[in-house]
Amino acid sequence: MPEATLDRAATVPLTGWGRTAPTPALLTPVHDDDAVRTALAESTGRGVLARGLARSYGDAAQNAGGHVLDMTTYRGVLAADLTTGLVDVEAGISLDELMTRFVPQGFFVPVTAGTRYVTVGGAIAADIHGKNHHVAGSFSQHVRWLDLLTADGQVHRVSPDSDADLFWATAGGMGLTGVILRAQVQMKPIESSRIVVDTDRTPDLDALMTLLTETDHLYEYSVAWIDCVTKGRRMGRSVLTRGRFARRDELPAKRQADPLAYSSSVKLSVPNVFPPGMLNLATVSAFNELWYRKAPTRKRDQLQSIPAFFHPLDGVGAWNRIYGPRGFVQYQFTVPFGQEEAMREAMVRIASSGTASFLAVLKRFGPGNPGMLSYPSPGWTLALDIPVVRGLATLLDQLDELVLAAGGRIYLAKDSRVRAETFAQMYERIDDFRAVRARVDPDGVFTSDLARRLEL
């Protein structure tokens, strides 16, 4: 569920979705371009940063001691062509709002993360990916242009054709090239709001990877829940769900009268005070056993709603509180195709570590894009949510070394702790990014806790 917005500027502690390492900043709601210019004029040596719905997990949307701009009040739809599916929007509009408005008119967002509570500006800044990356790429590949307010106070309309370097430094650039104000997004036409879903239960990691390799090209959307606790011959057992949007004539007769009906809601919310230690190895092991056993071994052509298939966790408000006051770390990494042994070794280390990853998903990525800091690249990607516990830092440092040796990388929107030197070795175009940033922001006005940590 989105955070409450402020009516006026106030100094508040800010965290990412993982709720670790809060830092204070002057949070200012943005209603127009001039509000951004005012913040630039008033900024201290700690700089300025745009912030959306705070669903990056680490410190990407924090700026200790500086200005942070709350973009969620800047969320209008400026134009919509229901013939082409092109929509012009302000950067603070969320994917949730886009779906609510346009699914009933026959259009879905081109790419969605595992949560619909992401702003368009945040989706571009993190260059989010979804279950369809293997066929559709990441979000920025569906952006025709964006309006970027740079450090000189000027607004530039940037596209892959007008200034490719600036566009692809901004796409995945975590807000460090300027403030994204507006964008034109190509929406996806759909005939219904239902997904035709196939489910397969696989007994181990090898069976999952074989099935994905042989058949993933047959599906538009694909993701596997994977058990990262069980060891031995059942290590990596999973529930694989894949699908596509249903045609109108595939719906039951009673739904064909209104094939694009859509609603999303929060069914319950986690209380602000949640007992620490509830997610431990014993409880997560029990959950994983239940989740795996209740899934069908093989099921075909099940109709699911958009929220059920794409955003199941969004039905629980503030679900990040279940990890308790210490918070949690999300760790997402990719290793290239041909490095399957590195993925197996990572799974062995995770399962043997005694940590409890409550949520773990594995997918295949398709080709990457020119984004200098864009995360997806061809290979296997695994995302883990792990409570902050003793020994976690050592485990993740070891995984960093394994991923780096395999030619892989970690995802900035999920990261809160990787070392600068490790990150620089994972992203071969980091110097290109720094050069573009120096061109449009020579004094480093746009910055963040993440930028300082990674020496960007």
Say if residues 412 and 60 touch (Cβ distance below 8 Å): yes
Residue 269: what pLDDT?
76
Taking the CA atoms of 190, 196, 197 and 198 in sequence, report the sign of the dihedral they define.
negative
DSSP-assigned letter for residue 429: T
β partners of residue 334: 381, 409
Residue 276: what pLDDT?
64
For each of the domains in the chain, give its residue range(s) and CATH number, in order of start: 194-419 (3.30.70.2520)
Mean local confidence (pLDDT), 255-261:
97
Backbone φ, ψ for residue 142 (5° rounding): -110, 15
Say if residues 22 and 420 touch (Cβ distance below 8 Å): no
For residue 312, give the nearest of 17, 112, 64 by alpha carbon: 112
Taking the CA atoms of 321, 20, 116 and 119 in sequence, report the sign of the dihedral they define.
positive
Span 339-390, pLDDT tens digits: 999 999 999 999 888 776 767 999 999 999 999 999 999 999 999 998 888 8
Mean local confidence (pLDDT), 51-77:
96
For residue 363, give the nearest of 350, 374, 351, 375 by alpha carbon: 375
Q: How confident is the model at residue 2 (pLDDT cuts 50, 70, 90)?
A: very low
Say if residues 314 and 116 touch (Cβ distance below 8 Å): yes
pTM for this entry: 0.95
